[in-house]
Chain A
Amino acid sequence: MRGTKHLLLWTSLGALLLLGWAAYAENFRQEWRLLQAAYRDRLPADRRAEFQAQLRQIVVPALNSVDRCVTCHLGMSPGDTALPGDRVFGPHPDVSHDPAQFGCTVCHGGQGRATVKADAHGDVRHWPEPMIPRRHAYAGCGACHTHLAIPETASLDRGRALFERHDCLACHRMEGRGGTLRPGGAGGMEGPDLTAAGARGYDRGWYPGHLAHPEEGRTGAGDGRAEAAGAAGSGARRWQASFAPLPAGDPQAIDIYLGSRVGAPGLVEAKALFHSIGCRGCHSIAGVGGDDGPDLTREGQRDPGQLGLTHATGGASPTGGAALTGWLADHFRAPARVVAGSAMPEIGLTDEQIDRLTFYMMSLRRSDYPEALWPKDRIRAERFGEREFATDGPTLYGTYCAACHGRQGEGMRFPGTTAFPAISNSDFLAIASDDFLRQTIRRGRPGRRMPAWGEKEGGLRPDEIDAVIAQVRRIGGGVVARPDPRPARWARGDSAAGARLYADACASCHGATGEGGEGPALHNRVLLEAAGDTYLFETIRRGRRGTSMAAFSDASPVRRTLEDEEIEAIVTHIRTWEVKR
């Protein structure tokens, strides 16, 4: 009885204590309350009285989002005072979309309903959409936007270089830089900020127009700053003295650059790199690209909890957005080390390139929002079939071909894969007709790594194939194919003799039955259909300089020289595989 009474007494006291503590801690010691108290202390005295310590949230019913981020990030809460420069209470940077209207998680990821930092930022287990790390914050644009007509890196770099070389930054601001030279005094002659020129549009004819008519051109950008006209007369003359007509070609290059400025610094460069090193040759995004590798449409939304982080070194923490970026970076460095059995080769990227590709991967999100809310670029890309990348030759080549055939068409060889042929070889381009190239790109090489780009979904369109062919010839030094006066099939050699010669001279590289080995497969249906006898004959006779394929008509101390009849016999032998199939 006594023991029972004691038990009752102490458990009751303990329970009361715990209940009291719970009531206190759960109501007065929450992280956000402590933060709001700290914020209140830092407010100007006159604002302190009207500050209400309470939860704040931005609700966007259309996006089904409830974002309580502004409970702590009070500087971004509509109606509260921002404390400039503060990491937590500072204002939101000026961006195209008003956070008060769009909410936070739509761009940044994270858990909007949470009111505890670790949960809200997604740095906890079981939250599949962690915040995008700050350095890649603009990857959030990918939740809705696709961005159209992104050029490859070289064009972009050239455009930027010209933009800077022609002193555009003197008057214009671009991604936080420039706009320093103001001939008419402070604010007098400042040009418009071009950070989002590609998204908002700009007057392409302004520069030449202004050169021709400086007095009118002053407000030519549609800026409506007519009130500055009085002070501007002398400024305009000074402008004319400093700026001259641009050399031919430069305006176009600058246009490419400006057209790509959509207010997402870094993201476009990241995307351009992806479309310069041939990633879409194996990976598809939104159904466009190859299917050797995994679909990357939503790569940036992968759940860090579902990643195999055992072998990743970059992301030490197994949770949060940093885990995903770390995993991606490790993966770009050495894919097979992170994903066992990965067929992706080590591409040999620099750290900067890895960072850019990671950035772009993080932007591959495409969240499921009602189609009515989609921005124009996404509608145009996903519903009207417009390309996300520019469809000029260099970009198309960089998008589809560069990974395997090399950025200069020099061919590639990765450990564990067969060699990819050099396609900018002048010996090759001299005998490969446009039609042969077109057939090859369109129908691929069945059974080999080369996909049929013209036939598969997500492949190349006819005009794009032509642009790629033009680009291949361009990087090959402008070599055009010699016209072939002979019919496609003319070889009438002795196929038995050809078989012996083939076994002797060719089989070691091309395989006993033409199945390929060190050299390309020759019994390939599409190759044999597309290639004329002249093509085969000349390839054997002249070889391909710079590759393992020797010119067999040349004298050599290590193998016998082939006579024309012998080569014809080999071609005849090779043709027998075509019949058999």
Chain B
Amino acid sequence: MSRGQGMAQFLDNLKAAPRRFAESAWRSGTPNTDRSRSSFVFGNVFLHLHPVRTHRWSLRWSTTWGLGIASVSAFLITLVTGVLLMFYYKPYPDVAYDAIKDIHFVVPTGRFIRNLHRWAGNIMAVSVLLHMARTFYTAAYRKPREFNWVVGMVLLVVTLGLAFTGYLLPWDQLAYWAITIGANIAQSPREVTDALGMTAVFDPGGLQKLLLLGSEDVGAEALIRFYLLHVMILPLVLVLLIAVHFWRIRKDGGLTRPEDADRRVGGPAGIHPSFTEAPQKTYHLAAVVRGRTAAVGRGPEGTVPAMPHLFYAEMAALMLTVFVCLLLSLLIDAPLKELANPSVPENPAKAPWYFLGLQELVSFSAFMGGIGIPAIVILGLALIPYLDRETTGTGEWFGGPGGGRLVAGSAVFGLAAVLLVETFAIRLGWIREWWLAAPQILITLVNPGTVLTLIYALYSIWLVRRHQSGRAGALGLFTCFLCGFVVLTIIGTWFRGPNWGFYWSRAHWPGH
């Protein structure tokens, strides 16, 4: 081999390097056929969580409204903007506040990035809640997706935890007093242990608060804890759980759809290639996946390649979320009040909005509102898939006995009940107003929150008996709690003023 040949070879290699780099990165060549697209999807570390083919039922907007993707999109936005904010943020009292002021006034586009972070966080909380409601109402938690529902529950709690820990970081009055409220809720088991006279021996409430704040009050220790939770621990947990959540969607057979989804989405209109024969091979035969799999027993006419159909849908949901976040960030600044001042309590001191429903209950009983009822709700939600073993209505909105009519009726009942109980408590007061010396344990057990929970529970049991169906009871209960949550949150947000008194509008608040 002459020297010239070697040189030519080298030049050829050099010329081919970009192409070869692309080949080595993508492996499956240009994804321009269904086959190469499939290879592209399962050969890519980020995309392989997707199925190669997606059922057309799953791609209908009304199936999911894109809420899961919206949640994860909002999370991605907070992730990116959060990292940017970390360049300037300093987690130390007073300095933290100055850092936020500098981000707002001096850092190029800092104000905008902070707004984005705040709005994306709020949108994430909303879309996660809506996503849960969607999953529930389409009965998508049913076998084999029970575990993914439980993972979703944990994701909800972690999401709220992320939002809550982020609330303290600006170190302003809003943050300081919201976290003080939150920490006192964490301490609220003391209400029970005090009533039982055993706080000196056993004080889980005090321990919880101490673990959360690292001190008796919200201070430097609490700030560094919340910072660490907010930027490291909770995001890591969230990313891990999101991975599990996505992976389980795929392994559980994609999104839920009704038995007759194939018939309802119609024939394979213009989708190629169309399959006319029953498949010869399933994953089931290979013992890779247990139970029924997507392809067993019927042709895949209802499916389309994930690339590009699913990706378009996902990207559209992502971009819609991004657009909404950008628009809100341009229009409305994230709040920032005065520097935190432990000697000037905010009145009313309000928790973040997603906890205001709970704070409304907390105003009656700290333990029941802050810990008891939320625990019951989370536990009840987690148990739903294990109690509801029915199959009718899976994948349908409001599927199950009673259907939409039952949900509408439950909404009316749920709204009426929460409004009645609130009106009663606001107009006439509660036990302590009539009987000053009432034992605290009585109020812990009997307060508007527990009464409302009981009413909802009884209503749901009545539904179970009437329809002879656990799903009917679950539909009623979930709807009732959703109505209760919304109404209580609205009351806590807009109708509560100084000393948590009821006011029709802010203009009626007494002057100081």
Contacts and interface: CB of A to CB of B under 8 A. Distances in A.
Interface stretch (B42-50, B101-109, B476-484): B101-109
30 contacts: A1-B312, A3-B61, A4-B61, A4-B313, A4-B316, A7-B316, A7-B319, A7-B320, A11-B323, A14-B323, A14-B327, A15-B319, A15-B323, A21-B330, A22-B326, A22-B330, A26-B108, A27-B109, A68-B105, A68-B106, A111-B101, A114-B105, A119-B105, A303-B338, A305-B338, A307-B512, A308-B511, A308-B512, A310-B511, A340-B511
A234 interface: no
Contact of A11 (B101, B322, B330, B337): B322
A59 to B, nearest CB: 12
A306 interface: yes
A113 B103 CA distance: 10
B315 interface: yes
Contacts of A66: 98
Contact of A116 (B59, B105, B312): B105
A309 B511 CA distance: 7
A447 B101 CA distance: 52
A15 B322 contact: yes
B118 to A, nearest CB: 15
Contacts of B298: none
Interface of B, secondary structure class, is helix
Most A CB within 10 A of own CB, among B59, B106, B327: B106
Contact of B309 (A1, A19, A21, A116): A1
A311 interface: yes
Given A1-B312, A126-B337, 11 more contacts: A1-B59, A3-B61, A14-B323, A15-B326, A22-B109, A26-B111, A27-B109, A55-B106, A68-B105, A68-B106, A311-B511
Interface string B104-135: 01101101100000000000000000000000
A23 interface: yes
Contacts of A307: 512
A114 B101 contact: yes
B210 interface: no
Interface string A121-135: 000001110000000
Given A308-B511, A311-B511, A115 B327 contact: no
B338 A128 contact: yes
A1 B270 CA distance: 12
A347 interface: no
Contact of A8 (B316, B344, B512): B316
B74 to A, nearest CB: 14
Given A18-B326, A115-B105, A126-B338, A11 B511 contact: no
Interface in B495-512: 511-512
A12 interface: yes
Nearest to A27: B108
A26 B319 contact: no
A309 B61 CA distance: 51
A5 interface: yes
B336 interface: yes
B326 A126 contact: no
Nearest to B116: A22
Contacts of A305: 338
A309 B312 CA distance: 55
Q: How large is the interface on A (under 10, 10 to 19, 20 to 34, 35 or more residues)?
A: 35 or more
A408 B319 CA distance: 79
Interface of B: 59, 61, 98, 101-102, 105-106, 108-109, 111-112, 172-173, 309, 312-313, 315-316, 319-320, 322-323, 326-327, 329-330, 336-338, 344, 511-512
A23 B109 CA distance: 7
B323 A18 contact: yes
A8 B315 CA distance: 7
Contacts of B323: 11, 14-15, 18
Contacts of A115: 105-106
Contacts of A308: 511-512
Interface in A2-39: 3-5, 7-8, 11-12, 14-15, 18-19, 21-23, 26-27
Contacts of B313: 4
Contacts of B102: 113
A62 B318 CA distance: 49
A327 to B, nearest CB: 11
B111 A11 contact: no
A519 B39 CA distance: 105
B275 to A, nearest CB: 19
Contact of A26 (B61, B109, B320): B109
Nearest to A114: B105
A17 to B, nearest CB: 9
Contacts of A23: 109
A126 B319 CA distance: 34
A382 to B, nearest CB: 21
B327 A18 contact: yes
B312 to A, nearest CB: 5
Interface in A68-110: 68
Contacts of B309: 1
B330 A113 contact: no
Contacts of B322: 11, 15
B80 to A, nearest CB: 12
Contacts of B173: 126
A19 B81 CA distance: 13
A359 to B, nearest CB: 24
Nearest to A1: B309
B402 to A, nearest CB: 32
A22 B329 CA distance: 9
Contacts of A11: 316, 319-320, 322-323
Contacts of A340: 511
A23 B329 CA distance: 13
Contact of B312 (A4, A303, A306): A4
Nearest to B317: A7
